[in-house]
Structure 1
Amino acid sequence: MKFYLSFLFVFFAAFLEADNWWIFFNDKSCSKEIKLAEKSIERRLKQNILFDDYDLPVCLDYVNILKEHDLIIRHHSRWFNAVSVSLSSLDILDSLLVYDFIKDIRPVVKIEIKKDTLLTNKTLDYSHYSRISNILEYGPSFNQINMLGGVDLHNLGFFGSDMTIAVFDAGFFGVQTLPIFQSLWDNNQIIDMYDFVDNDNDVFGGSTHGTMVLSTMAGDMADSLIGVAPEANYMLFRTEDSASETLIEEDNWAAAAEYADSVGVHIINSSLGYTILYDDTLNSHSYTDMDGNSTIITVAADLAASKGILVVNSAGNSGNNDWYYIGAPADGDSVLAIGAVNNAGEIASFSSRGPSYDGRVKPNVCAQGVNTIVADMDSTIRVANGTSFSSPLIA
């Protein structure tokens, strides 16, 4: 087995320059204690979900041995019984082959992002948005909420209170200062945040994409934009590096999902639809991999769902290009994949299509993703296109 792995590493080196790798362990023999927050335990008990080996952390003895080598531990994964590491040289891989506790080593996959279309500067006419019998003043955001029955729920007093929603995105520029989010801070509704790209607590840089996504959920600006769940609690997690233009790495998303599970999140909104980007024959992926079982991100999303979390993910924006189909993790069998429609309920041309490769219906549902009302980095209310903005309307 060790000879086979060594041969693979030489083969990888010939075709692939990877800095980051997964190291999978054989067991969790030194892990005895499940470490989950009380809210996570409560969520599972309410749904009669049993605890299992997936809930045990990785063996720290193994991790400490790895730290003796010239590598950096990026993330621990209890679900995959693995760590992701950064290497300064592929030669380090050979030095790891002596350890019997290592089951497998493979590259952290980089993933292509299908971007949303640009914001427009369309002038918004508020005059025809009725507020009769509604307790909130929605302005132009009325339609995107009303078409899902959200206005009726608001009128009945359901605003998302007592729910915790984790938002996975590329950054939340300005959320800490913009007036449209002031109520979140006043009411202590942003209860956690973490940057899984840079491994720090500053999520307010990187991108405005998460800002726009969050505004459709939690925005509170009368006569302009009201979110679907303005009274929910939110956790903001940066999982994508927008500076890399088109690539993110799968271990960031998986790490965020595991953390969300451990602290008691009820819902994950991931407005990030990914397809796999490798041209070499050794590591290439295609539509055949959109089968619900082939990518780390999809497996992580399904595991999150198995722990009682509702995982909501944008279907992607590839409906009018060569890829065409949904991306990961929208292909997961336990992931609610969200497509985009216009304000009349007609499918958007860019919305990624199904089915999954194994024939399951995807997307599962749709929401308004054409001319969706969002808040930009300066609280300007604009319209934007993309399944990134239909997904949070469902979440």
Structure 2
Amino acid sequence: MKKTLFTIILFHFSMLLSAQETFHLVQFNDKKQTNFSLSNPEEYLSASAVNRRKVMDIAIDSTDLPVVQSYIDAVAATGAKIWHPLKWFNAVIVSNANPAEIEKIASVSKVMDMSDKTMGGIQEDLKTETYNYGKSEQQNVLLGIDKMHADGNKGEGIHIAVLDAGFRNYTTNPFFSDLNLGEAFDFYAKNSNVADDHTHGSDVLSTMAAFDEGNYVGGAPEATYYLYRTENTAYESRIEELMWVAAAERADSIGVDIIQSSLGYYDFDDASQNYSHTDLNGKVAWITIGANHAFTKGILVVSSAGNEGVGSWKKISFPSDSPFVLTVGSVNLTTLNKAISSSFGPTADGRTKPDVMAAGEGAWVVKSTGTVSTSNGTSFSAPQMTALCAGLMQALPEGTMPMDIITRLRRAGDKFSAPDSLYGYGIPNYERALLITDLEENESLFKKVKVYPNPVDGTAIKVELPSKFKNMDLEFVWYTMAGQVIQKQEAVNEKNIVLLELPADHRGQYLLLRVSTEEYYKTFKVKVN
């Protein structure tokens, strides 16, 4: 009897070992085919789970969505035994699997042998959703758009009007198959067909809206786009400026948030219409006056600086001279040096232009033919900046004014402390822009300020201040690394040491502590154990 029992146990143990050896984890590419929505979490999370996230200010994201059942069914159809889906890993545990057959399934990312210990472990923040950007990775990372997307800010709810010469093949180009189209309108033909005109607008649009993960992802793929043909490539005339104004008015009436314009004017077929450098004062050209009006209506206008750096004109073009337009110059994607063709400032009345820079020389775009290749010009740096603006608008409180966005981006530029007429305020970054306030950062003033212990255990941290801060009103603001406010504390510096409470529920993280006076601030990075 004992021998029989031992044999049975040994048999089951052998079967268990055998089963363990055949376990695999099948991971999927996405959850695009889900029948659930992030806006209705009650369909797949309990009321208490939803409430816990609200109380702890934890966003409901794609890791909360169930694994797509049709993806699991496709794996099961290969003969694999399905055990349990893992929504956090977007995967399913299987046994008796044929990895070669499963890997042929389009929705499958990879099949992992669970006996391979190198496959395990969390390799990224599972609260975030990032993309495989393909060719667009370097230019997106340059502006911090990858971090912006990881925060969930991909342009959703932001309306962008693109004023250009045409958007050839956008309706048939597979990279635009998920395009959120508000409307399209040709201001010359007076119809909605802009897909048979010039290719320039399609190239511009791609840097914002194209989406084919693994090949190319634009900076604001979830924004809604309004495609307006205002440029007529058959001639150069001031009538094109007025068509631009007509489109801007239409955009305003619809409720557009941003006007993206990779168009610029200064000379025309009729030389008597030409502008001069003295006209670059923000109030002469028809198109500039139109951009000024758009600003007063609460629309952010983002304009390419122009590509006249090596020509006779050299300067920025109109409407980039407007003080109310975000003017974008171009750098080489590899060296980050100013692109030789990028137009420069200053304006006739001495203002710094361009405002900011992005990749325009060697920039990756999706052509109207559906191919991904490089192109040159501020035409492509400007829409990348527009995508960053869309993400910032989504991240910041509703009603954030256009000038606040412009100011943030200027101050977030890598040349903010020493702007010039070639680079403006430099290349901005999403995370830096989120942290910008109306205050001015002052490194020398805060040079002797000490924040300790760092890393910090316990529940409090000390800020030691020099005597020049005595009796000053100070504000201390804790932020996440993504720039989201956690808590604020005000204090009068009476003893040169202020004791601050650490934010609750943020253990094991890096946080940012901004210390500010009425005029200046400095941000410290703190590790909370």
TM-score calculated relative to the size of structure 1: 0.63
> Counterpart of 1:393 in structure 2: which amino acid?
Q
CA offsets, 1:281-322, max 9 Å, x none? x65421111110001100000110111001000000000110
Q: Is the 8 A contact 2:145 2:219 kept in 1?
A: yes
What secondary structure, in the 3-state scheme, does the structure 1 residue paired with 2:139 have? helix
Q: Aligned-residue CA RMSD in angstroms?
A: 1.6
The percentage of counterpart residues that share the same residue type is: 44
1:377 alignment partner, one of 361, 368, 375: 368
2:172 matches 1:177: yes
Inter-partner Cα distance in structure 1 for 2:168 and 2:237: 19
The partner residue of 1:165 within 160, 163, 167 is 160
Counterpart in the other structure of 1:140: 135
The unaligned stretches of length 5 or more in structure 2 are 1-122, 387-529
Partner of 2:286: 296
Structure 1 position 274, deviation (Å): 1.4
Partner of 1:358: 349
The AA in structure 1 aligned to 2:277 is: Y
Aligned residues of 1:313 and 1:336 also touching (Cα < 8 A): yes
Of 312, 331, 336, 2:326 maps to: 336
- Closer/same/farther in 2, CA of residues 247 and 383 from structure 1, 3 Å limit: farther
Q: Is contact 2:168–2:196 with CA below 8 Å preserved after alignment?
A: yes
* Greater relative CO, 1 or 2 (CA 8 Å, sep 6+): 1
Aligned to 1:274, what secondary structure does the other structure show? coil
In the TM superposition, 1:245-324 aligns within 5 A as 249-277=240-268, 283-324=273-314
Deviations 1:211-268 (A, max 9, x none): 0111100010122210000000000000011233788621100100111111100000
On the 8 A contact 1:240/1:248 being kept in 2, the answer is no
What's the CA shift string for 1:78-135, capped at 9, x where partnerless? xxxxxxxxxxxxxxxxxxxxxxxxxxxxxxxxxxxxxxxxxxxxxxxxxxxxxx8472
Provide Cα deviations, 1:139-198, integer angstroms capped at 9, x if missing partner: 1211111111111011111100000000001000000011100011xxxx1011111122
CA distance in 2, matches of 1:334, 1:270: 14
Alignment length (residue pairs): 259
Are 1:170 and 1:207, in contact at CA under 8 Å, matched by a contact in 2?
yes
Verify: 1:192 aligned to 2:183, yes or no: yes
1:213 lines up with 2:213 in the alignment: no
Kindly tell me: are residues 258 and 245 of structure 1, through their superposed partners in 2, closer, same or farther at Cα, counting changes over 3 Å?
closer
Separation of aligned partners in 2, 1:339 and 1:211? 20
Cα distance in 1 between the residues matched to 2:289 and 2:235 = 24
Aligned residues of 1:340 and 1:368 also touching (Cα < 8 A): yes
* TM-score, reference length from structure 2: 0.48
Query: What is aligned with 1:60?
Result: none
CA distance in 1, matches of 2:332, 2:143: 13
1:223 maps to 214
How far is 1:339 from its partner? Answer: 0.2
Equivalent pair of 2:235/2:269 in contact (CA under 8 Å): no
User: Contact 1:302–1:332 (CA<8 Å) still a contact in 2?
Assistant: yes
Structure 1 gaps, min length 5: 1-131
> SS of the counterpart of 1:276?
coil
CA contact (8 A) 2:165 2:232 kept: yes
Alignment of 1:40-79 (within 5 A): none
2-structure distance, mates of 1:293, 1:260 = 21
Given that residues 196 and 237 in structure 1 are in contact (C-alpha distance below 8 angstroms), is that contact kept between their aligned partners in structure 2? yes
Cα distance change, pair 248–206 in 1 and its aligned pair in 2 (3 A): farther
Shift of 1:279: 6.3
**Alpha carbons of 1:358 and 1:371: their partners in 2 closer, same or farther (altered >3 Å)?**
same
